[in-house]
A and B are shown apart, each in its own frame.
Chain A
Amino acid sequence: MSNNQQIFEDWLDGKITAEQCAMQLQHDPQWYARLQNTLALQADAKAPRFEPVPEFDSSALFAKQWQRPKLQRSWWPQLSLALSCAAMLISLSPAKFQLQDGSLTLSWHNSQSEINRAVGTALLAYQKEQQQWLVQQLDTQQQSTNSQLVLLKDYLQDELKRDQRSDMLQLVEYLNQQRQADWQYWQENYQPMQAGYRPASSYYSPTNTGVVKP
């Protein structure tokens, strides 16, 4: 490579300016002419082009070569799976979401002790409920027994009174019958005998209205 060629290529590579190159090559007509021609070509290359570039729609070409129909992808199955996994994790983990008084709180708890405590509370409540029920039943039973006893007492008293009255009536009737029988026996057996011993006027004479004194 000659020195001039080196100078020329240094200029082409941008290492020196066109003026520096021209100054160094001006004594060699061949290389100086090459420089001038190159400058003319560079000027032409930098000149704006007004030739309109034709419209060419390469979209169809590209679509045919590289575009594939988009997969009809639905996100619902993935969303459903993700929510199911989240629900499972929440239910299995000790984390506990609680919505109370308009605020959502996240708490961690021991599920076994929580269950034991809940079971104990439920059993205690059941025990109390059963005791109250038994007390109520006993009260009801007692009241029922008392009322039945009162009714029985009244019934027995009534029955006793009725029996006593009946006995008294029977007794009175019996006594009346005895007196009637005694009176008849006396009239039949002792009155004629008495009449024989004493004047009739000296004896009391029983009548239907009473006893007539002598």
Chain B
Amino acid sequence: MFKRSDESLIAKALNGDQHAWQQLVNRHQSALFYFGLRLLGSREDANDLLQDVLLVLCRNLGQYRGDSSFKSWLFGIANYRAMDMLRRRKYSDNDDELAEMPADAPGMPEQLANDRQQKQVQQQLRSLPLEQRLVLELKFYQQFTFDEIASQLAISSNTVKSRFYAALDKLRLQLEDDHVEQSANF
């Protein structure tokens, strides 16, 4: 089926087409919610972030000029709002919140293994400083280029790369620690 581009949906939405708006929201709300969930650590915060970003998007939809991709522009808003929320709520790494996340679909052993692996990766990501975690999130989970991330965060591309490699190095150290712990358990 023919898929309309984000730009054409925006143009229609600006003319009052609610169906186009709903299509646009449906296309990006999952990514936004999971972005918030990984970055903020709880469903409530992720939901708040999603609503907040959609509210800002709705109000500022007419300001999108098409200089970058719509997703990049949208995540520019999401980054700013997420950082703002984290600063205001003095977010602290609390593994209890992550542990509160439901175990999802029951049953399948592969799925349980995936869940365990995901939790492990998420826990390691959450131990990173916020700026570094944000860069990894945007690079791997949202598939943005270094230049797009730099544009969204209003920093240079070199700074992005610096944060990226620093995050990878910290992650490496932790993974090594995990391996040591797992080896010790055995």
Q: Roughly how many angstroms separate A9 CA and B22 CA in the complex, as a whole number?
A: 37
Which one, A37-45, A78-86, A116-124, A201-209, is touching chain B?
A37-45
Cβ B13 vs Cβ A62 within 8 A? yes
Cβ A51 vs Cβ B22 within 8 A? no
Asked if B118 CB lies within 8 Å of chain A CBs, one says: yes
Measured between C-beta atoms, what is the minimum distance from A12 to chain B in Å?
Answer: 8
What is the size category of the interface that chain B forms with chain A?
A: 35 or more
Cβ A51 vs Cβ B169 within 8 A? no
CB interface residues, B 115-148, toward A, < 8 Å: 117-118, 121-122, 136, 140-141
Which residue from A42, A50, A67 sits with its C-beta under 8 Å from B140?
Answer: A42
Which residue from A33, A43, A68 sits with its C-beta under 8 Å from B16?
Answer: A68
- Residue-by-residue, is B160-179 near A (CB-CB < 8 Å gives 1, otherwise 0)? 00000100110110011000
Cβ A61 vs Cβ B54 within 8 A? yes
Q: Roughly how many angstroms separate A147 CA and B58 CA in the complex, as a whole number?
A: 109
Measured between C-beta atoms, what is the minimum distance from A50 to chain B in Å?
Answer: 4
Asked if B102 CB lies within 8 Å of chain A CBs, one says: yes
Q: Which residues of A contact B55 (CB under 8 A)?
A: 61
Q: Roughly how many angstroms separate A48 CA and B110 CA in the complex, as a whole number?
A: 12
Q: Roughly how many angstroms separate A75 CA and B27 CA in the complex, as a whole number?
A: 37
Which one, B1-9, B29-37, B75-83, B85-93, is touching chain A?
B29-37
Cβ A56 vs Cβ B47 within 8 A? yes
Q: Which residues of B contact A62 (CB under 8 A)?
A: 13, 18, 21-22, 58
Asked if B59 CB lies within 8 Å of chain A CBs, one says: yes
Q: Roughly how many angstroms separate A66 CA and B12 CA in the complex, as a whole number?
A: 11
Asked if A113 CB lies within 8 Å of chain B CBs, one says: no
Q: Which residue of A lies closest to B176 (CB)?
A: A33
| Top 6 closest pairs, chain A to chain B, by CB | A50-B104, A33-B172, A44-B121, A62-B21, A41-B140, A34-B168
Chain A positions near chain B (C-beta within 8 angstroms): 30, 33-34, 36-38, 40-45, 47-51, 53-54, 56, 58-59, 61-63, 65-68
Beyond the given pairs A38-B168, A41-B136, 10 more chain A to chain B contacts, judged by CB atoms under 8 angstroms and listed by A's residue number, are: A36-B172, A37-B172, A44-B118, A51-B33, A53-B29, A53-B34, A54-B33, A56-B29, A66-B61, A68-B16
